[in-house]
Amino acid sequence: MVTVNDRLLGELKEAAALCTSAGQLAEALSSAIRPVIAHDALRLVATSPNAGSVLWSFGFWHAYEPDFCRALLRTDYAGGDTYLPDDPARRPMVTVLPGNGDAPHDRAARRLAAEHGIAAEMRLMLRDVHGLWGQVGLVRAEGGRSFDEADVGWATRLVPRLIGFLRSYVTAGPLAPPVPSPPPGVIIVGPDQAIRTATPEAFRWREQLEKHARAPRWTRESFTAGLAEQTRRHARDPRAVPPLIVGPSATYGRWVAAHGQILKGTDDVALIIQAASAEQLLPAFCDWYGISARERQIITHLREARAPKQIARYLDLSVHTVNDHLKAVFRKTGASGRDELLAAFS
């Protein structure tokens, strides 16, 4: 018997295959979820469990008012999430905002909602045994009702399907780009989060990525501000999550990485955007494609140009077992063989 949730996952996968832009896919996502949970705007942002961060690597936005999003992000970047614990592992699965309490975050939430005509926002953390995969935000405009317990129940049941959609979306992208990547580009961000300057290569990256992602302009601004702020946090406390974002080829046309460094003697941050190196890519790649720890070891040895017999000796396995693991990796990634798989890490 096909359930509502199973039908929803099928609709989401079909939308990912048919839609040609992020905007179209966001609208299709909203249309698929609306019969289950009524809403006026939707955002779905994603990361991967090994990232250990809510520096989202890609996302889909439909009918979210840009000024409202900017206000939320400005507050979050200034001192952590206004509404929720900073550690994603401690966040509740579903949160309905604004709250009714008198704590500072409740008052801030009500103020922002009133300023931007928002009746309520539901935030749904997409988390499973592997970790955090993303977050869904659903908004009801002023004049509408708040989200109730029935909505929360439906949202919780949707989590596995939405994670499944994200994984199917990412793994449908190409393993390797059809054209060479530009050289790394550098963007300098000041303490006010404004971009001071950028190299010509950074502009080339922006042109290439915008051809594929086609995200709203304000998301690019929030991307640079968020990564710059995380760079400063990591500089103050090395235990904080490293300032690194790895984005999938399904969104950007190639696997890309962006990371930040504080410029010595200043509070400026240099953001470097480049084709993801093998070291940057492998953790996220294994998350999205469901690569096991042993299969990851074998991929690492393959990158070092070792034959199956050599890998078997290094890992104290039989050659037959190594070949079985390789077949599993090729099946999961859709790679036709070793060369195509390694092209993703070149």
* pLDDT tens, per residue, the chain with 346 residues: 445 566 766 777 676 666 667 788 889 899 999 999 999 999 998 999 988 766 789 988 898 888 887 776 666 555 545 445 455 556 678 888 777 767 666 777 788 888 888 888 898 999 999 999 999 999 999 888 889 999 999 999 999 999 999 999 999 988 988 788 899 999 999 998 889 999 999 999 988 887 777 667 777 778 888 899 889 989 999 888 889 999 999 999 899 999 999 999 898 999 999 999 999 999 999 999 999 999 999 999 999 999 999 999 999 999 999 999 999 999 999 999 999 999 988 7
Helix%, strand%, coil% for the chain, nearest 5: 50, 20, 30
**Token representation of residue 164:** 């499944």
CA atoms of 281 and 48, how far apart (whole Å): 11
Across the beta sheet with 185-189, what order do the strands follow?
195-198, 185-189, 269-275, 256-262, 244-247
The values of phi and psi at residue 112, to 5°, are -65, -40
Domains of the chain, CATH where assigned: 4-171 (3.30.450.80), 185-279 (3.30.450), 291-343 (1.10.10.10)
- Three-state DSSP at 40 gives coil
For residue 243, whether the previous peptide bond is cis, meaning omega lies within 30 degrees of 0, is no
- In 3D, which of 14, 12, 26, 2 has the Cα closest to residue 214? 26
d(CA 304, CA 325): 17
- The single-letter DSSP state of residue 25 is H
Q: Which pTM was predicted?
A: 0.90
